[in-house]
Structure 1
Amino acid sequence: MRFTYAEAMTDPAYHIPLARAAEAAGYAGFSVADSLVYPKDSGTSYPYTPDGDREFLEDKSFVETFVLIAAMGAVTSTIRFTPFVLKLPVRPPVLVAKQAASIAYLTGNRLALGVGLSPWPEDFAAMGVPWPRRGRRMDEAIEVVRGLTGGGYFEYHGEFYDLPPVKMSPVPTEPIPILVGGHSDAALRRAARMGDGWMHGGGDPAELDALLARLAALRAEEGTAGRPFEIHAISPDAYSVDGVRRLADKGVTDLIVGFRWPYAKGPDTQPLARKIELLERFAESVIARVSP
């Protein structure tokens, strides 16, 4: 089992010392939240809070995802960074491919590209991208990113993107894992069909087993059950040794852990020293006891 440290919506100056501390404590990964803009008015609810309230996001700091990963990657050497998740279909996939390939190259393959659909129509509007058929746009963007980051000439002719034979340099020496986030049936099917893994977004802990069962069924249906596949999950079971073992038995490969409720309104008041103390305490009590 691998452990990914999650911290977001905090003082941006905390991220570099936290990345160093998490790596030193034995975490395998560090998740990086993605947010573009906060709309003043929106009728859309947030899918991973009990009441759908989105107001906790207002005035929270989000450094641009690839910029933040580059900064943390420059001061670490082993920990892997995972956008959780990059709002892929609102972005130009050629640019995303260039950013991802550059980060993976410079960090020695320490990028796993978590991708998902933004729940906000306002993100699409702000980026000048149509909201309709966003799922198909997402599928094509994944294909473009994977093709361009693989090295050599790549061409693509789809509904939304059309590329003559082109190539990028440098590219990483290993394929960039693409991990698909989302709980909808369409997202689970996309992960089963196209992904190198799936990222669980949290929410009701009781729903995880049903999501894992559905994902397994879809992988069997898509003929991908035998392919290497990462499953990143959020669960209360992650905080005990026995719980970790139960999750491993269910096929979870990576556990995302954090040590404060991230959906609170207002600024994060937890000091940096306390954050480091908590991540180190977890590493001693859980990671050290389940790692080989």
Structure 2
Amino acid sequence: MLRPMRFTYAEAMTDPSYHLPLARAAEAAGYSSISVADSLVYPEESDSRYPYTPDGSREFLEDKDFIETFTLIAAMGAVTSTIRFTPFVLKLAVRPPVLVAKQASSIACLTGGRLALGVGLSPWREDFQVMGVPWEGRGRRMNESIEVVRGLTRGGYFEYHGEFFDFPPVKMSPTPAEPVPILVGGHSRPALRRAARLGDGWMHGGGDAEELDVLLAGLAAARAEEGTADRPFEIHVISLDAYTVDGVKRLEDKGVTDVIVGFRMPYIKGPDTEPLAKKVEKLERFAESVVSKVNP
């Protein structure tokens, strides 16, 4: 029997004091999870392009507030009891994976397993530079990082001998009772293959319906090639279809397991001026008109 569609509430780059009440409101309204954005620094000068805006601009990020991802999840986890947290996505390739494994294990234990670790490559060269990590070889580093995080969060002794990371048998305590799902983000062919081979799911960064169909076909092909097509697998997408009951049914028919919904345009310059009460009203209205109809 197929499980019901899950709904993730997305809100980021807003007043930091809004996050905890929004998490409580989303949980009360029936959302399955809440996404948590990740950003480290904003460079004064950059030639980097953002892959998910039409013109590649990234100016909308300047002076936006980002609470560190695991810190924010811990805070929201302390005031909720059922909602899951999905970093969207943690820039794993620029972080020490052993530290990420410790952070993820700790969060999962403190929240009763309410973490699905969304990970991806940062599109910003500056993130690599400021973290002292080479830009070259980032894809291979990412692959090893996923393997390290997975191995250390499973419990027991784990050793690793790779191109970028090499350590003898070590273990962490505590580790969660159930493995932390690792969801891989990205639209490139290497990203899809990475999700198929190493991930428990894939996270979509947005785009039109035709592009999504192409990506889903590519993901299915990659899973077939990697021999993982029969393995349980989460597919999280951003789509206009997610905002109607009929549209959600279409996404279900395509194999989508989770839809990510937000109720304001994030790619705008300047501060978010929408009041907290308005945000709560919007997420509740959607839950009443769509979530409750899809999952009665």
2:205 corresponds in structure 1 to 201
1:174 corresponds in structure 2 to 178
2:61 corresponds in structure 1 to 57
- Cα distance between partner residues in 1 of 2:106 and 2:30: 25
Secondary structure of 1:232's aligned partner: strand
**Deviation of 1:203 (Å):** 2.7
- Cα distance between partner residues in 1 of 2:216 and 2:278: 34
The TM-score with structure 2 as length reference comes to 0.98
Q: Match of 2:41, as an amino acid?
A: V
- Cα distance between partner residues in 1 of 2:98 and 2:233: 25
- Cα distance between partner residues in 2 of 1:175 and 1:284: 33
Q: Say whether the 8 Å CA contact 2:183–2:195 is kept in structure 1.
A: yes
Residues paired across the two proteins, number: 292
- Cα distance between partner residues in 1 of 2:275 and 2:214: 37
Q: Which of 189, 194, 212 lines up with 2:193 in the alignment?
A: 189
Which segment is superposed worse, 201-210 or 146-155? 201-210
Consecutive unaligned residues of structure 1, counting only runs of 5 or more, are none
- Cα distance between partner residues in 1 of 2:154 and 2:223: 23
**Deviation of 1:32 (Å):** 0.1
- Cα distance between partner residues in 2 of 1:122 and 1:52: 16
Q: Say whether the 8 Å CA contact 1:83–1:115 is kept in structure 2.
A: yes
2:239 corresponds in structure 1 to 235
Does residue 1:20 correspond to 2:24, yes or no?
yes
Q: Match of 1:226, as an amino acid?
A: D
Q: Which of 121, 144, 153 lines up with 2:125 in the alignment?
A: 121
Does residue 1:91 correspond to 2:110, yes or no?
no
- Cα distance between partner residues in 2 of 1:205 and 1:23: 28
- Cα distance between partner residues in 2 of 1:270 and 1:40: 27
1:134 corresponds in structure 2 to 138
Does residue 1:72 correspond to 2:76, yes or no?
yes
- Cα distance between partner residues in 2 of 1:204 and 1:161: 38
Q: Which of 209, 212, 216 lines up with 1:212 in the alignment?
A: 216
**Deviation of 1:163 (Å):** 1.2
**Deviation of 1:64 (Å):** 0.2
**Deviation of 1:205 (Å):** 3.6
2:7 corresponds in structure 1 to 3
1:151 corresponds in structure 2 to 155
Deviating above 6 A after TM superposition, structure 1's stretches of 4 or more consecutive aligned residues are none
Q: Say whether the 8 Å CA contact 1:50–1:203 is kept in structure 2.
A: no
Q: Say whether the 8 Å CA contact 2:207–2:239 is kept in structure 1.
A: no
**Deviation of 1:145 (Å):** 0.2
**Deviation of 1:116 (Å):** 0.1
- Cα distance between partner residues in 2 of 1:72 and 1:231: 24
Secondary structure of 1:111's aligned partner: coil
Q: Say whether the 8 Å CA contact 1:74–1:107 is kept in structure 2.
A: yes
Which segment is superposed worse, 107-116 or 199-208? 199-208
Q: Match of 1:16, as an amino acid?
A: L
Secondary structure of 2:168's aligned partner: strand
Q: Say whether the 8 Å CA contact 1:5–1:29 is kept in structure 2.
A: yes
Q: Percent identity?
A: 81
Q: Match of 2:18, as an amino acid?
A: Y
RMSD, aligned α-carbons: 0.6
Q: Match of 2:234, as an amino acid?
A: E
- Cα distance between partner residues in 1 of 2:51 and 2:93: 18
The TM-score with structure 1 as length reference comes to 0.99
1:159-216, Cα deviation, whole Å (9 max, x unpaired): 1001110000000100000000000111001001110000000133431011001100
- Cα distance between partner residues in 1 of 2:190 and 2:287: 35
- Cα distance between partner residues in 1 of 2:253 and 2:262: 22
Q: Match of 1:135, as an amino acid?
A: G
Q: Match of 2:270, as an amino acid?
A: G
Does residue 1:29 correspond to 2:33, yes or no?
yes
